[in-house]
């Protein structure tokens, strides 16, 4: 509506202003907490869904522990969204705000590897799953494994974690959503000369401003291309694709091909005892098929946004509190 008067409200900039003001003035935006409850709650993952859930539970007086597989907290905020779009210090500030509420964060602790869901079930009154979607999707083109062909999740988190990546001169990204744009801009930033994004859609799914940003970096985006084939034997050195008109074929040099076609549950076996529907844990009012387990964020909605994950994390905390109070 607003754009008919002057221009749309710049929500992202307003949020950025609020966070900057909070950081610069060292404001305490979340009330200090006192542990008043005996029950302990475990949160799997430290992305926005878990952080929001943990903060709400801690504020309600519960003892909360987060188990995070990575060496740094923040989930996709720390490992997916490029730092130029979301500065690490902002993420670290938010994580610290939650930790200051008394929430214990165990880094480098992967549930399913370092501690089992069964142990969490036994030792905690409730378990929140905010593990997101950390499995990268690749399409099997029937050409066998080739080095140089990776998924966005093999690429973006590795670049963020190591601060470096051996990016070759020629890169092809398959998929033109926001993740595809992030892969392309990151590849450019880390040394690629020629980056081409291929997608099978006629209309590019990424936000217009993300598309404009990569185009300004000199990335080429080609729509309506399908029937991908890789050139190479043990390692990839090119991509062939055919236009939807079934006539135009292109051949692109590429020593790195990045599939950016969405994420999936990383370790489905972790949820063997819970109901899963495709890419989502089945939840009803944030409670999974096991009443002690709750879930929200990407792991339960199939992949959405940070704001949605935060909202769901808070709502899940309310559902957990109701469950714990009922069980007292």
H helix or E strand, kind and range, residue 231: strand 225-232
CB of 192 to ligand FAD, least distance (A): 17
CA distances from 184 to 27, 29, 31, 78, 87 (A): 37, 36, 41, 18, 19
Binding flag, residue 309, ligand FAD (CB under 6 A): yes
- Interface with ligand FAD by CB under 6 A: which range of 17-25, 104-112, 118-126, 248-256? 104-112
Binding flag, residue 136, ligand FAD (CB under 6 A): no
- Interface with ligand FAD by CB under 6 A: which range of 16-24, 213-221, 300-308, 318-326? 300-308
What's the order of all strands across the beta sheet hosting 236-243? Answer: 225-232, 236-243, 249-253
Instruction: Give the total of residues touching ligand FAD (CB under 6 A).
Output: 37
Compare residues 97 and 179 and give the one whose CB is closer to ligand FAD: 179
- For tokens 């006539």, what's the residue? 247
Binders in 15-74 for ligand FAD, by CB under 6 A: 44-50, 67-70
- Interface with ligand FAD by CB under 6 A: which range of 20-28, 158-166, 274-282, 301-309? 301-309
CA distances from 33 to 30, 62, 103, 138, 139 (A): 9, 9, 10, 44, 48
CB of 79 to ligand FAD, least distance (A): 7
259: left (phi over 0), alpha (psi -120 to 50) or beta: beta
Quickly count: other Cβ atoms within 10 Å of residue 187's Cβ: 28
Query: Can you tell me which of 42, 43, 58, 81 binds ligand FAD, judged by CB under 6 A?
Result: 81
CA distances from 32 to 20, 56, 311 (A): 21, 11, 21
Q: Which residues lie near ligand FAD (CB under 6 A)?
A: 44-50, 67-70, 75-76, 80-81, 85, 110-112, 130-132, 134, 156, 178-179, 182, 266, 270, 297-299, 304-307, 309
């Amino acid at each position: 509506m607003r754009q008919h008067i002057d221009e749309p409200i710049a929500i992202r900039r307003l949020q950025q202003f609020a966070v900057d003001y909070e950081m610069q003035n060292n404001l305490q935006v979340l009330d200090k907490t006192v542990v008043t409850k005996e029950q302990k709650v475990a949160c799997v993952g430290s992305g926005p869904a878990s952080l929001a859930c943990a903060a709400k539970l801690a504020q309600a007086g519960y003892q909360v522990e987060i188990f995070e597989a990575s060496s740094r907290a923040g989930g996709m905020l720390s490992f997916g969204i490029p730092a130029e779009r979301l500065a690490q210090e902002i993420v670290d500030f938010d994580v610290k705000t939650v930790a200051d509420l008394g929430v214990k964060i165990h880094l480098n602790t992967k549930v399913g590897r370092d501690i089992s869901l069964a142990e969490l079930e036994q030792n905690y009154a409730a378990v929140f799953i905010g593990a997101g979607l950390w499995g990268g999707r690749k399409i099997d083109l029937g050409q066998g494994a080739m080095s140089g062909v990776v998924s966005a999740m093999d690429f973006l988190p590795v670049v963020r974690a190591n601060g470096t990546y051996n990016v070759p001169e020629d890169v092809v990204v398959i998929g033109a959503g926001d993740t595809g744009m992030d892969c392309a801009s990151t590849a450019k930033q880390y040394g690629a000369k020629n980056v081409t994004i291929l997608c099978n859609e006629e209309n590019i799914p990424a936000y217009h401003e993300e598309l404009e940003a990569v185009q300004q970096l000199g990335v080429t985006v080609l729509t309506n291309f399908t029937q991908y084939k890789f050139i190479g034997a043990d390692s990839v050195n090119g991509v062939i694709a055919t236009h939807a008109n079934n006539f135009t074929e292109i051949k692109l040099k590429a020593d790195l091909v990045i599939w950016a076609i969405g994420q999936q549950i990383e370790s489905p076996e972790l949820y063997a005892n819970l109901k899963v529907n495709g890419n989502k844990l089945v939840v009803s009012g944030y409670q999974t098929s096991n009443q002690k387990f709750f879930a929200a964020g990407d792991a339960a909605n199939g992949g959405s946004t940070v704001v949605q994950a935060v909202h769901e994390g808070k709502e899940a905390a309310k559902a957990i509190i109701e469950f714990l109070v009922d069980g007292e």
